[in-house]
Each structure stands twice: as C-alpha cells, then as structure tokens.
A and B are shown apart, each in its own frame.
Chain A
Amino acid sequence: MSREEIYVKLNEVFQDVFDDEDITVTDATTADDIEDWDSLEHINLIVAVERAFGIKFTMGETTSMKNVGAMVDIIAERAG
C-alpha cells in the first residue's frame, strides 16, 4: 500500500471519527490541529484506524505517536 493510498483511507477514518468532512491530514498533523482530537477521543481514533487497515498498534505506539506521519509509517510497515 503506498503512502498516498494510506492517506486516502486515513482521511476517511479521521472524517468519520471526528464527524467533520473537511479534515485532511498530513505527515505533520498532530492532535493540536484537530479540535476534537483529545486524550478522550484518541483511543476511538486508534481503534478505528486499526479496523480500517486490519492492523494492531502496540500500547507503546498508541501513546507515543508524535504525529500522523508516525502513524502512517507504522501502517505502511504492517498493512503491506
């Protein structure tokens, strides 16, 4: 799966979780950039991403991803 393909799918997940069709994420996007992406919603997002790509993040990855780019790196590595 290319990074472009990952981003197409990832944008859909973000739009669905945060209920906002205008969200477009990039490598540099962080929780600060999306209003509803707080500590309470974080796991909802993680679980939705796991389901969409059929992968699992470890607990360590779940709490230490610095930005969307780091998330995409892991997806690219695992989703094949």
Chain B
Amino acid sequence: MSLVSFNFLVFVLAVFVLYYVCPVKFRKYVLIPANIAFCCFAGIYTLAFVMVSVITTFLGGFLSGKKEWKNGARNTVAAVTIVFNFALLCAVKFYGVMDLVSERLNALLGASSGSWLAFAVPLGMSFYTLQLIGYVLDCLWGKIEPEKNFINYLIFGSYFPYLTSGPMNRYSDLSAEISREHRLSLDNIKTGMIRISWGFFKKLIIAERAGVIVNAVYADHVNFSGWYIPLGVAAFAVQLYTDFSGCMDVVIGVSKLLDINMPENFNSPYFAKSIREYWRRWHITLGDYLADYLYYPLLKSALFIKIGDVSKKAFGKKKGKKVPIYVAMVVLWTAIGYWHGGVWKYIIGSGLLHCLYIVSGMLAEPLFEKIRPALRSDKLPYKLFQIARTFVLVLLGFVFFRAANVPDAIDMLASLFRSPAGEGVIDLSMANYIVLGVSILILTAVDLYKFRPKDTDEPRSVITLTEGKPVLTWLILVFLITAVLVFGMYGLGYNASSFIYASI
C-alpha cells in the first residue's frame, strides 16, 4: 500500500478511530493489529519477513545484552543475529538476482516460474532491518537494557508508518515514545493533517510532474542537449527530494495523529554550504545511524588504530592522523552507495563521489585556511556561492544515481556539450510547467523559512507561523487539500507511482 494513496488514508483513519476509542493504557496495543494488517496488505510473506526479523533480533538483543555472559558468547550471538538478518535483507533487496536464481531452481525442479521473494518487495526493508540490527548492537554494547517484553518490542519493530522508508529510529527513543500515554489533542490533529497534506502536495503536485521531465530526459538524453540536460538533472533533484521528504512528511504526520513524535529526516538540504553539511541535512537518520554503527566502530577497531599509528610515523602527526579517517570514509561511502542499490551507479553516485568531495575538501583545507580572509567567506555572496557549488556537486552525483548505468551517466554529461541527435519531447503542458514552477517556489519558501544556518539546530516549524491564528491553520490545510485534489497527478487509479526510496 503506497503511503500516498486513498487506501492508506482510509487505513489511517480506521487506526486513528480504534486508537482513541480504546482506553489510554491500551492505545499502544491497537498498533499490533494495525501493523499486522499493514504488512498483510503488502503480502503474507512481508508479514513473515517482519515477524522473523522481529523475533530473531528480540532474541539476539536479549542474549547479547546478558552482562553475566562472557564477551565471546555475547559477540557470537550478536554476530549470528546480524548475519542472519543481513542475509534476509540481501535476499529481499536484491530479489532480482534471487528471482533469477529461484527461476533457475524452479526450472531445474520442474516447478512453475515466479519467486516468493517478489511478494516481499513492496516494503523498503533496508531501513527497517538496519534499525533492528542497531537495537542488537545497542544491547551488545551496553547502551540500553534489552527489552524483556516481546509485545513492546513487536510494536516498535513493526510500527507501520515507518515500514516502507523510515525514518530510522533508535529503540531507546521510539519505544519510550510509543510506550508513554497518548491523548487526543486538536493540536496534534492539526499538525498531523498539515504534515500529511504537505507530503501529498510534494509527492503528487511536484514529484510526479518533475518525474515527467526526468523520465523524458534520462530515457532519451541523446535527443536532448544544452539546457535540457541540466533541466532534467535538476528536475531529478527536485523529484527525489519531494518524493522522499514527502513520504517522511506523511510518516511524521500519521505518527503525530497518534501522538507519537518521529525524528525529522530532512532539514532544508539544498541550502547546505558543503557536502558534509548536506549529509547532515539529507536523510539525517541514516547518516547518524552509519556514524554510530559503522564509522565509529571501524575507526575504534585495532586495525584502524594501527593504521593511524603507522601513518603518523610516515606522514607526521597532523597529516598522519587523518589517514584512518580517509580509509574509513571510503568504506563508509562504499557502504552507503552499495546500500542504495548494490550497483556501480549508486556506489559512485551516492557513495564514492561524495567521499571524493569530502576527502578532497579536507585535503584542501590548509589552503582554504590561508585564502579564506581574501574570499570574505563570512559575507553573503560567498555563502551563496557555497550553496550553489554544493548543489551542483550533489547534482553531479544524481546524474549517476538516476541514469540507467555508469556509461549512460557519463554520456549524458557529455551531451551537455554536443548537439542533439534528434528532437526530444517532454510531454508536459505549459499549464503543468506553471503549476510545477509555482509549487517549487512554495517549497523553496517553506524550506527557506525552516532553514537555520547551524545544521544541528532544530528546523523552524512552519506551523509556528499560525500559532494563535486558528483560522490561518485551517486555511493552509484547505489550500493544501484543494491543491492536491485539483493539481495532484494521480497516475493510474488513485495510487501515485511508488516512492523512489521505498522501491530501491
């Protein structure tokens, strides 16, 4: 079930009514049948997948958190749980490969074609599995006490709003959030409905239209040239951002209706002044997760400490201490790229290219320190230049991310400088271009309002604009709903095409 669909809204409404009809103490338990029903909509095998993950990580966390056990035994339990769940995730994520394998097996066995794994695909399980693995590691590292009550863990592990594409939650945060008492409040209803409508607005009005440009240019780039190439590339940046962050708005909004606060996953990312800052504003919960569970453990391992010692001797203290950081970055960014899809275009586009940006930025830092006063880096023009430069670098990564493969991406960049082979057509009317342009302006204004120069500061909530002005709140809501109904591009039936991140 797509999160941007009429069916999902009906489902949420049913959960909402049941949730608040129940006495306060029992409200969280309504989430169990809701989560199971949501999984069942995606297929019975999805439910099986979720249950197997929940049960194994519950047991794995429980045993690896046993302080009276020897470290070796605890490590082994955690390792087995993690490997098992990763294997399960890989089987689902790269089902195309598995499909092929199973088809061959089926052919060998004389069975009919088709794979059960195809049933499990609708949910974007990567976020979800990583999150449960994070729980096992937290137990192993003594960061949290293992949960002893399976029901509490089940509610956390199968919480339906985030099953499709995150945001990633820490057990310690979300479980406490789900377990506290939840009360019906007009504020939550207003905020929740505005967030959901805003998500629909982004997805159905902006992402779907930008997608038309993206599909045309990327499918047929040899027939486009000049400005059409950057237009297609920029349109993809808009599409991916509105698609993914729109999905997060729906997840956060639905949770708000249930009086459950979810972490933000985006913080005006395209206003970042550097690539490092961009990653602290884009898919924030994934960055935090990988820092805690991959990057830090890697750097703290005996091997990396040894690399640091050797490099300090070879290159001197100041330069040498950076070497393990660079090596860890290559591992981290390869993992991020691989996680996005396991093929080179992702490993380059959202992995190694970003690694190259960051590492070269670090290497050039001594030079920048010297010329910074001359650049007047504290003045607005330079900051605007930094924002534009960062955006262009991000766009370059997106070319690889979206193109069919690496050679196509390179060829597309080359077509910037050559005349088109034919006449490419983008099937979007002028009226649609105007709707897209105006809605992007609205999005930019909202992101600009939310933007705080320091990325660790909480983004300013647009809802605060309407504080003490209830009429304005309802007007915004009516505007968003009307806009979605009138200008939303619904595709076939009432389901928008699936979210990009939920389908990779």
Interface residues, chain A, CB within 8 Å of chain B? 19, 32, 39-44, 46-47, 58-60, 62-64
Number of residues on chain B facing chain A (CB within 8 A): 19
Does B138 make an interface contact (CB < 8 A)?
Answer: yes
Given contacts A19-B318, A63-B296, contact A47 B305 (CB under 8 A): yes
Instruction: Name B143's contact: one of A19, A41, A60 (CB within 8 Å).
Output: A60
Does B418 make an interface contact (CB < 8 A)?
Answer: no
Count CB-based A-B contacts (< 8 Å): 39
Alpha-carbon gap, A76 to B270, bound state (A): 44
Closest residue on chain B to residue A32 by CB atoms: B456
Closest residue on chain B to residue A63 by CB atoms: B292
**Most interface-central of A19, A40, A42 (chain B CB within 10 A):** A40
Tell whether, in the assembled complex, residue B142 and residue A60 are in contact, meaning their CB atoms are under 8 Å apart: yes
Alpha-carbon gap, A47 to B300, bound state (A): 7
Closest residue on chain B to residue A42 by CB atoms: B296
Alpha-carbon gap, A37 to B296, bound state (A): 14
Name B329-372 residues within 8 Å CB distance of A. 362
Alpha-carbon gap, A22 to B231, bound state (A): 50
Tell whether, in the assembled complex, residue B297 and residue A59 are in contact, meaning their CB atoms are under 8 Å apart: yes
What are some 14 contacts across the A-B interface (CB < 8 A)?
A40-B362, A43-B296, A43-B299, A44-B321, A44-B325, A47-B305, A47-B308, A58-B143, A59-B137, A59-B296, A62-B296, A63-B143, A63-B291, A63-B296
Tell whether, in the assembled complex, residue B291 and residue A39 are in contact, meaning their CB atoms are under 8 Å apart: yes
Alpha-carbon gap, A14 to B292, bound state (A): 22
- With a CB–CB cut-off of 8 A, which chain A residues contact B297? 59
Name B287-333 residues within 8 Å CB distance of A. 291-292, 295-297, 299-300, 305, 308, 318, 321, 325
- With a CB–CB cut-off of 8 A, which chain B residues contact A63? 143, 291-292, 296
Does B141 make an interface contact (CB < 8 A)?
Answer: yes
Tell whether, in the assembled complex, residue A40 and residue B308 are in contact, meaning their CB atoms are under 8 Å apart: no
Alpha-carbon gap, A60 to B291, bound state (A): 12
Alpha-carbon gap, A39 to B325, bound state (A): 10
Given contacts A43-B299, A44-B321, A47-B300, contact A58 B142 (CB under 8 A): yes
Nearest Cβ distance between residue A5 and chain B, in whole angstroms?
25
